[in-house]
Amino acid sequence: MKGMTVIVKTVSSWVKVLIFLFGIYIILFGHLSPGGGFAGGVILASSYVLLMLAFGREFVEKNLPLPIASRLDCLGAFLFALIAILGLVVGGSFFVNFLYQKYLPGEPFNLVSGGTIPLSNLAIGLKVGASLFLVIFALSMFRYDSESLANKRLSDRTGESKE
């Protein structure tokens, strides 16, 4: 994928940072206002899609290499599972909100409240952002040569008519 003109590149490099920041805000405040892990993760991934459209795929691959995205993906899922298992170890059953019940109740309507829910939001946001970035990157890697495909279609049809 090639990039676009200079105007698009300049503006989108600023806008990408703002979108990324907005995504982080949606993830962090997920327990107080609409949003949460999944929506914030989608916004994070779409900031990278903007970068991919404006600058081309090779630039984004240098920016966030695929193995690192893959490891972030696994790390997000593993953190979520870790929170669940810590609930079993500390609290007594899976997914129990042990931070809220024992250690850190916090005040309602503050950022630090709700126990393990913001931590789960962070883990899910990380995982969804990395996963969607990988999906869209992998889908854009299919490049096809339209001329060779037209030749193949023609040869398939003539081959069938001969049989």
Partner 1 sequence: MSVPLPVFVAIPLVVAFVLPALGKGLRPVATFLANLAMISLLVLAVMSFGDARVYQVGGWSIPLGINMVLDGFSSLLLLAITAVGTAAMLFSTRYMEQYTAKPKYLTLFLLMVAGMNGVVLSGDIFNLYVFLEIASIASYALVGFGGEHEELEASFKYMVLGSIASAFVLFGIALVYGNTGSLNMAYIARAIQGTGMNAGLAFALSLFVAGFGLKAALVPFHAWLPDAHPSAPAPISAMLSGVLIKALGIYALTRLIFNVFGVSIPVGWVLIALGLLSMVAGGLLAIGQWDFKRLLAYSSISQVGYVVLGIGLGTVLLAKGASVAWASLAILGGLFHLVNHSVYKSLLFLTSGAVEMATGTRQMRDMGGLADRMPVTRATCTVASASIAGVPPFPGFWSKLILVIAAVQAGFYWIAAAIVCVAVCTLIMYLKVQRYVFLGELPEHLRHVRETKGSMLVAMVSLAVLCVFMSLLVLVPSLRAAVLQPAVDVLLEGVNHSTRLIDL
Partner 2 sequence: MLYALCFLLFMIGLYCAVVKKNMVKIVIGIVVMEYAVNLFLIMLGYRTGGTAPILSTSDADVATKAVTAHFLAAVVDPLPQALVLTSIVISLGSLALMISICIRTYTKYGTFDITEIRRLRG
Give 14-79 as a 3 state SS string: HHHHHHHHHHHHHHHCCCCCCCCHHHHHHHHHHHHHHHHHHHCHHHHHHHCCHHHHHHHHHHHHHH
**Among 53, 46, 44, which residue's Cα sits nearest to residue 5?**
53
Q: Which of 18, 85, 112, 149 binds partner 1 (CB under 8 A)?
A: 85
Q: Shortest gap between Cβ of 128 and partner 2 (angstroms)?
A: 8
Q: Shortest gap between Cβ of 71 and partner 2 (angstroms)?
A: 20
Question: By CB under 8 A, is residue 96 in contact with partner 1?
Answer: yes
Other CB atoms within 10 A of residue 16 CB: 19
Q: Shortest gap between Cβ of 82 and partner 2 (angstroms)?
A: 21
Nearer to partner 2, 36 or 118 (CB): 36
Work out the burial of residue 47: count CB atoms within 10 Å of its CB; fewer than 13 is exposed, 13-18 middle, 19 or more buried: buried
Selection from partner 1, partner 2, none that 53 binds (CB < 5 to 8 A by kind) is none
Which among 25-33, 47-55, 75-83, 136-144 is the span making contact with partner 1, rule CB under 8 A? 75-83
Nearer to partner 2, 5 or 146 (CB): 146
Residue type for 103, please?
A: Y
CA atoms within 13 A on the CB side of 14: 5
Which among 10-18, 57-65, 71-79, 149-157 is the span making contact with partner 2, rule CB under 8 A? 149-157
**Among 162, 14, 130, which residue's Cα sits nearest to residue 65?**
130
Question: By CB under 8 A, is residue 139 in contact with partner 2?
Answer: yes
Which among 11-19, 20-28, 39-47, 65-73 is the span making contact with partner 1, rule CB under 8 A? 65-73
Which among 18-26, 73-81, 114-122, 135-143 is the span making contact with partner 2, rule CB under 8 A? 135-143
